[in-house]
Amino acid sequence: MKYDKLNLRRFFRNRFESFVDHDDVSGAYVNDGVPLTLGDVCKLLEDDIEPFPLNYDQDFRKVCGHEYLIWLRQPRTYGDVARLLAYRVKALNNGVQRPSGRWVSALLRGEEITQSNIHLSANRLTDTITN
């Protein structure tokens, strides 16, 4: 099904909140009637240049862990947040509960993520894992 950008952003924010509040990547706690997971919406918005609302900044402490201040150095777009969450979803699916090292910094620079994070690529995170 085709969704317009405005609705996709709303679905994304709903799933972002569910991830932060319930560690839910499936979207099971979201009641917007759309059968999209967090990963699905991340794929659809990874190139979106619309600024992400600043009122969610406090939630990035949970998402980014020890690197949350690096994330907050400048305003981010929906695409930035989608790539960050796609990485976290991919890590969770590979058994990495909390990425280690400077993964947020590497992700923002588009670099390869360290070995401790199972070589999850910072480029097109939603499609493949590089070895």
Q: What is the pLDDT of residues 67-98, one digit of tens each?
A: 999 999 999 999 999 999 999 999 888 888 87
> Tell me, what's the pLDDT at 105?
87
> Looking at the 3D structure of the chain, how many domains does it have?
1
Whether residue 130 lies inside any domain: the answer is no
Structural domain including 27 reads 5-117
The pLDDT score that the predictor gives to residue 112 is 74
User: Residue 8: which residues within 8 A CB-CB, separation 6 or more?
Assistant: 41, 44, 45, 48
The residue among 26, 27, 98, 116 whose CA lies nearest residue 62 is: 98
Task: Give the pLDDT score at 98.
Answer: 78
Alpha-carbon torsion angle 16, 19, 24, 29, nearest 10: -60
Residue 43 lies in a domain: yes
The pLDDT value recorded for residue 126 is: 45
Report pTM: 0.81
Residue 129 lies in a domain: no
Question: Cα(100)–Cα(86) distance, rounded to whole angstroms?
Answer: 16
Q: Which residues of the chain, if any, have pLDDT below 70?
A: 113-131
- Is residue 122 one of the residues assigned to a domain? no
Tell me how many degrees the CA angle 25-4-22 measures, rounded to the nearest 5.
15
In a domain, 83, yes or no: yes
Residue 125: inside a domain = no
